[in-house]
Copies of this chain bind each other. A is one copy, B any other.
Amino acid sequence: MQNQQEDKVKIYAMGGVGEIGNNMTVIEINEDIFIIDAGMMHPKDEMFGVDTVIPDITHLEQKRDRIKAIFLTHAHSEHIGGIPYLIKKIKAPIYGTTLTLAFLEQMLREMKSNKKVKTYTIDPDKEVWIGSNRVSFFRTNHSIPDSVGLAFHTSQGAIVHTGDFKFDYTPVDGVKFDLSKLTRIGDEGVLCLLSDSKNAELPGHTPSESTVGERIEDVFYFAEGRVITALYASNLHRIQQVVNAAVQTKRKVALDNRYLERLVGIATKLGYLHVPKHTFISLDKIDKRPDREIAIISTGPEGDPMSPLIKIANHSHKKLQPKDTDIFIYASSASPGDEKDVTKAIDSLMRIGVQVVYGKDVHVSGHASEEDLKLMLELVRPKYLIPIHGEFRMLKVHMDIAASTGLPLHHVFLLDKGDVVEFTKGEARETEKVPAGQVLVDGLGVGDVGNIVLRDRRLLAEDGTLIVVVTLGRRSKAILSGPEIITRGFVYVRESEELIEDANQIVTEVLSKALNEKVSEWSSLKNGIRDALGRYLYDKTKRRPMILPIIMEI
């Protein structure tokens, strides 16, 4: 029997450990490689001008032929946003549930991706065999419908990956976490659990999504004007609850933008959203009805709740001007780094008299808290735990939680991107480290914005630039034209004429001296200009613009 030979198992993360987003886990079973999720991440502040960050998959490209499948746990961009880039390099079938694949296809259409991908729909109640590998699934709860976890059944035991999850005993769509299936997988013996850590720092149990619906309903009953709800477009559970509240209070619902309309359209068609006929109206038509019959669901061009909040607060939303009779529900939490902008916008709305409802009453997380993580460990009873999906801090707290339930500390692996855990005879150890990291995407450029470009953008952002151009005669060694000085982002030129004139004078002096001394090395001349000007400008302004001397030769 071939099963007598032990499966060789390796696990590593290409992203999603030590960071939020960029989720990508790799499982190698013998010669076969499986990728679970391929996410993206929003750029950090210091990544000036970068649009998206994705995992560096150079290592996987080298193993391209061994990759048998890509599994998607759910349709959030932190889990599928890397797919358009991945499929340019790696050809493997993609497995996802109905909604996940539908949203993936919509994303690929929007990005005008012309790659053909083979997809298979996951039925969570059925297993799939890929080569000699058996993979089973279990339904989870999360802030998007149709999310799953999965299990790879190896001869050393199962490898269980939770995806993002919470336990919601009163889910909005009635689709419950398949605890029974998960328990059965646990009964069969689990070698290693990879489990969501994003909310490990929160005590207790993450509340049900339906608690948000109750509060939204209260607001709708109470509101005498329009109710505008800003939320993540992918949170269909919450959209359903807003729709329900609107229907109950006899309001029509207008959707803020095309992106939202398309997602809602897909979800409705597939049966993930239930909207009575004639509920939706066009945003252009809301003024034709009394305000108290209007509800608006708002989201940004990429489905985020922050951009409509800011646009409406700044009166820069094309179709929606705030009124002092409006109630604005910010049904989301501010992501780290966004708090300032969110509170500023809420402030502006309140100033014009809009009632703003925000905070934990109208938002619950889609991720498991401390007690939920303990329940997960209890049901799965893994021999080893690899905390995933979180900053290092969160992974560490998850480790401590596991230890408190009795898992030995050395059975928990806190991984950095690329760290490989290898399993032999049911024992795990960290063996090697494969190359891993992140790739910055700016416009069409994938990975071409590196440290030098970012450093220059940072310098330019700080004090702007000052450009000095001069035309010199190659033979005459005389100044034929210039020096001309152009600045951007340094000083307001009309108020700084004297400064610019003095700068001009300094350049002319440096040039004349150099030309008299027959300097012919332009680079040293440029350095001379840069030094003299830099000193002068810093002395006068305490600023350090990027100085770019350009010498034209004739």
Contact = CB atoms under 8 A, between A and B. Distances in A.
B339 A469 contact: no
A452 to B, nearest CB: 6
A489 B453 contact: yes
Interface stretch (A89-97, A170-178, A366-374, A537-545): A537-545
Given A460-B457, A542-B444, A554-B554, A488 B548 contact: yes
B552 A484 contact: yes
B443 A546 contact: no
Given A44-B340, A453-B490, A464 B471 contact: no
Contacts of A461: 48-49, 457-458, 460-461
Nearest to A470: B552
Nearest to A344: B391
Contacts of A18: 347, 351
A17 to B, nearest CB: 11
B340 A445 contact: no
A552 B453 contact: no
Contacts of A346: 393
Contacts of A443: 463, 541-543
Contact of A486 (B393, B453, B542, B548): B548
Interface stretch (A325-333, A419-427, A491-499): A491-499
Contacts of A287: none
Given A45-B340, A444-B541, A543-B442, A457 B550 contact: no
A481 interface: yes
A546 B488 contact: yes
A485 to B, nearest CB: 10
Contacts of A453: 464, 489-492
A396 interface: yes
Interface string A415-458: 01000000000000000000000000011110011101110111
Contacts of A444: 540-542
A443 B470 CA distance: 28
A106 to B, nearest CB: 20
A457 B464 contact: yes
Contacts of A456: 464, 488-489
Interface residues of A, number: 67
Contacts of A548: 467, 486, 488
A340 B337 contact: yes
Interface in A306-343: 336-337, 339-340, 343
A392 interface: yes
A417 to B, nearest CB: 12
A270 interface: no
Nearest to A391: B347
B49 A550 contact: no
Nearest to A396: B350
A502 interface: no
A166 B165 CA distance: 42
A462 B339 contact: no
A281 interface: no
A265 interface: no
A348 B554 CA distance: 54
Contacts of A290: none
Interface string A112-132: 000000000000000000000
A347 B396 CA distance: 10
A550 B469 contact: yes
A456 B467 CA distance: 14
A554 B552 CA distance: 12
A249 interface: no
Contact of A471 (B450, B481, B543): B481
A554 B471 contact: yes
Nearest to A460: B460
A339 B350 CA distance: 24
A339 B482 CA distance: 48
Contacts of A491: 445, 448-449, 453
Given A457-B460, A462-B48, A392 B350 contact: yes
A302 interface: no
Contact of A393 (B343, B416, B462): B343
A504 interface: no
A462 to B, nearest CB: 4
Interface of A: 18, 44-45, 48-49, 336-337, 339-340, 343-344, 346-348, 350-351, 391-393, 396, 416, 442-445, 448-450, 452-454, 456-465, 467, 469-471, 480-482, 484, 486, 488-492, 495-496, 540-543, 546, 548, 550, 552-554
8 contacts: A351-B392, A445-B541, A453-B491, A465-B465, A471-B481, A471-B552, A484-B552, A488-B546
